[in-house]
Structures are given as C-alpha cells and as structure tokens.
Structure 1
C-alpha cells in the first residue's frame, strides 16, 4: 500500500524541516500539519519561514474530521507528547504507520500505549544543524530520519513502504538494522552534545574544538555507554566515534535544541537527558558525576528565568 497522506504534529525545528521539504514534493492537501486553533491562527498570521522561504502548509486542528493518514510523524517536544497522542486520534487508521522523531528512549512506548506497537517503527532524527528564532528556521544540513524495526531480521513491510515514499519524495533517510540500539546511541549523543552546548551557552563550534566543553560532552556520553550495556544495549567507543564524525560535519554556528531553549529562556528536556541518566545510575549503582553536574547547572540556569 503506497503512502500518499502524511500528518505531522509539532512545528518546531523538525516539523518545519520535514514539513517544508515534503510540501514541495506532494499535493498540499495530502500533507497535514496538526495544530490547535490558537497555533493555526498564529501561523497563518505570522507565517513560518524555512531558509527564507514562506512555508505553504495545510493546517488542520485535532477536532477536524479527516481520512486516516498513511504516515504520522511526531515532532513535538517530550513534554507535549501526551497531548499530541490525543491530538492525532482522527488521523490514525488501520494501516497508519507512526514515526516518532522525539529525543530520548521512551516516546515509542508512550505512543504505543494508545495505538499499539504494531503501528510504530523506531526512529531517530540526526545530522541537522537547524536554528529556529521566532518564526524563522535556518539550516545548512537538513539531516535525515533513521528508522527500522526494533530487532534485526527481515525488513518489515512498513519499513519498505516508508522507504519507497521517501525515495519518491527525495527525503533523506537510512534504514537501520538494529534500530533499538541506534535509539540508545542517539540518546547517548543527545545527553552529551545537547546538555554541554546548553551549559556553555555556545554552539557546535564549541564542541568541534579540543577543550573543556568537548571533554565534558564525551565524558557524559561515556556514562550513557556504561549504563546502556547494563541495560543490555551494546554500545562501544566506536559508537561515540560515529557521532563525533556526524557532529564534525555540522555548521559551527548551529546549535542543538536544548541550547536554543536556554537562549530563549524556555524550560529544557534536562529531565529526559541527565535526569534519566542519573536515575539509571542509581538503579545500577553506578556513579554519573558528569551528568549530575550538567543537571545541576541546567537547573540553575532555568531557576534564573
């Protein structure tokens, strides 16, 4: 069954990136951006821009009746996930496939509680260096979606359908054989780079250079590596090296979402990152001093808003 209709919920960095690309590759009515009435009114009044282009989006509210989507992409922040799960209910049908581009290692389980794990593939977004200020998004590298089945084996029909659609729409992607491991690996990256750049209130250029910030980032990632292995996920130094290679290609002026949150005086996903690491450390009796320090520093920054 060919994917023809796509619904995206969340119009932050990822929602704009993916939505703007797809809006140029498929009929407007087949791409739906789900948002509440107040957000829709703001988007239509102020518009949304991607690298200077005004995005021509088809907005729908959660209450609007519609045909189920063939593909739903979750692109909200974690704190908005439960509301988003409710908001997409009119878009979920028998053959709908769901991808979650959220950070962390738990969003798929939250979505599956409502709609069933059989509708989901594991997914991570990586390689983008976009910065969003107000209604303006700019980027040098769009990045890609990596997706796949939880366990290695025969490629599912769902994965084949998404790959065919992404090929048709020239959407950058990669199918990952061990997707659950990649989910943890990306979590390891986020814990290191997102929190470090936020604490140093800098950009990717800060962690491209040898020095205290880069050392902090790598040390935070190594704490996740140790804990992942305790959880049965085999991460190694090679996984860290892979992500350092990905980071090296990003614009030095770009910055991850948490740094953008701190800059805009928004509350961050620190509980999702260091909060999770510290809790896992206590579970396994393993010290996590770097993540504990990052947690405390980010909480201190947020307390001064």
Structure 2
C-alpha cells in the first residue's frame, strides 16, 4: 500500500524541517500539520520559516475529520506527548504507520499503548543541526531518520513502505535491523551533548574540542553505556566512538535542543535524559555521578526562570 497522505504533529525544529521537505514533494492537501486553533492562528499570522523561506503548510485541528494518514509522524517534545496522542486520533486508521522522532527510549511504547505496537515503527532522528528561534528554523544538515522494527534482524513490509515513500520524496533515511541498540546509542549521545551544552552554554563546537565540556559530555555518555549492559542492550566502546564521531560532524555553530530551551527560558527535557539515567542507576545499582551533577545544575538553572 503506497504512502500518500502524511500527518505531522509538533511544529518544533523537526516538525518544521520535515514538513518543509515534504511540502515541496507531495500535494499540499496530502500533508497535514495538526495543531489546535490557537496555534494555527499564530502560525498563519506570524508565518513559519525554514532557512529564511516561508513554509506553505496545510493546517488542521484535532477535531477535523478526514481520511486517516498513511504515515503519521510525532515531532513533539516529550512533555507534549500525552496530549499529542489524543490529538491525532482522527488521523489513525487501519493501515496507518506511526513514527516517533522524539528523544529518549520510551515514546514508541507510550504511543503503542493507545494505537497498538503493530502500527509503530521504531525511529531515531540523528545528525540534524537545526536551530529554532521563535518561528524561524535554521538548518545546515537535516540528518536522517533510522527506521526499523523492535525485533532484531527484521525488515518488515511497514519498513519497506516507509522506505519507498522516503525514496520517492528524497528524504534521507537508513534502515536499521537493531533498533534497540541504535535507540540507546542516540539516547547516550543526547544525554551527553544536550546536557553538557545546556550547562556550560556555547554550541556543538565546544564539545568538538578538548576541554571540560567535551570531557563532561563523554563522561555522561559512559554512564549510559554502563547502564546499557544491565538492561541487555550492551553498547560497546565502538558505539560510543561512533556517536562521538556523529557529534563531531555537526555544525560547530549549531546548538542542541536543550541548550536552546535554556536560552529561551523554557523547561527542558532533563527528566528524559538525566532523570532517566538516575532512575535506571538506582534500579540497577549503577553509580551515575556525572548525570546527577548535570541534573542538579539544569534544575537550578530552570528554578531561576
């Protein structure tokens, strides 16, 4: 079954990035950006821009009825996931495939509790260097989406359907047959780079050169590596090196999402990163002092908003 109708919920950095890409390659009415009426009014009044170009999006409210999406993409922040799951109910049909580009290691299961894991493909967004200020997104590299099933070694018909659509729309992707390890690897990278830059300020460039920021980033990542062995994911030093290499290739002037949140005085995803690490560390009796220190410092920053 060919993918034709796409719905996206969450018009943050990834939502704008992916929406702008698809809007140039499929009919306008086949790409729907789901948002409440207040947000839609603001988007239409102020407009949304990607690399200086105005995005021409077709907005729909959660209440509007229409054909279910063939592909539904979640690009909300973690704290907005619960409300987003409710908002997309009119876009989920028998053959809908759901992708979650959220950070962390739990959103697929949360979505699957409502709509069924049979509709969900595991997804990792990596390599993008998008910076969003207000309604303006700047991005030099959109990175790629890794897609795959939870079960290791499987390339399902769902994966093939999404891959065919991505080929048709020239969207960068990679099929992964060990998604749990890839997802934990991305989680490890986020725990390091997001939190280090949020605490120290600066940009990706500060993690790409020798010094305290880079040392903190890698130390935080190593705590995730240790935890992965307790839960059976078994990340290795090779995976640590792989993800550091990915981070080293990002635009040095770019900033991770948590750093952008701190600068804008928004509450961050620290619970999703250090919060998860601390919880797992307590559960498996693994010391996580670096993430504990980062957690405390980010909470202290947020308390001053």
For 1:71, the equivalent position in structure 2 comes to 71
Deviations 1:260-290 (A, max 9, x none): 0000000000001001101111111111000
Deviations 1:183-206 (A, max 9, x none): 111111110000001001110000
Alignment of 1:85-104 (within 5 A): 85-104=85-104
CA deviations on 1:111-138 (whole Å, 9 max, x unpaired) are 0010000000100111000100011000
The whole-number CA distance in structure 2 between the counterparts of 1:180 and 1:87 is 27
Give the length in aligned residue pairs.
305
1:229 — aligned with what? Answer: 229
Q: Find the aligned partners of 1:229 and 1:66 in 2 and give their Cα distance.
A: 45
Secondary structure of the corresponding residue to residue 99 of structure 2: strand
CA deviations 1:166-194 (Å, max 9, x no partner) are 00000000011101111111111110000
In the alignment, what sits opposite 1:81? 81
* Alpha-carbon displacement from aligned partner over 1:60-98 (angstroms, at most 9, x marks no partner): 000000100000000000000000000000000000000
State whether residues 154 and 177 of structure 2, in contact with CA within 8 Å, keep that contact through their aligned partners in structure 1. Answer: no
The Cα of 1:240 is off from its aligned counterpart by: 1.1
- 1:211 and 2:218 correspond: no
Once the 2 structures are TM-superposed, how far is the Cα of residue 32 of structure 1 from its aligned partner?
Answer: 0.3
Summarize deviations over 1:200-219 as a string: whole Å, max 9, x none: 11100000011110010000
CA-CA distance at 1:247 after TM superposition: 1.2
Counterpart of 2:161? Answer: 161
Q: Following the alignment from structure 1 to structure 2, what is the Cα–Cα distance between the partners of residues 184 and 248?
A: 19
For residue 154 of structure 1, report the CA deviation from its aligned partner.
3.3
| Corresponding residue number in structure 2 for 1:53 | 53
Secondary structure in 1 matching 2:302: helix
Match of 2:302 in 1: 302
Once residues 152 and 132 of structure 2 are traced to their aligned partners in structure 1, the CA distance between those partners, rounded to angstroms, is 36
Residues in 2 aligned to 1:201 and 1:211: alpha-carbon distance in whole angstroms: 13
Report the secondary structure of 1:127's partner residue. strand
Q: Distance in 2 between matches of 1:66 and 1:262?
A: 38
Provide the secondary structure at the position in 2 that maps to 1:72: strand
Partner in structure 1 of residue 152 of structure 2: 152
In structure 1, list runs of 5 or more residues that go unmatched. none
In the alignment, does 2:201 pair up with 1:201? yes
CA contact (8 A) 2:143 2:172 kept: yes
Residue number in structure 2 paired with 1:115:
115
Structure 2 residue runs without a partner (length 5+): none
Give the C-alpha shift of residue 244 in structure 1: 1.3
User: How far apart, CA to CA, are the structure 2 residues paired with 1:220 and 1:109?
Assistant: 25
| Runs of 4+ that moved beyond 3 A | none
Superposition deviation, residue 153 in structure 1: 2.6
Secondary structure of the residue aligned to 1:143 is strand
Structure 2-normalised TM-score? Answer: 0.99
TM-score (norm 1): 0.99
- Matched residue of 1:154: which SS? coil
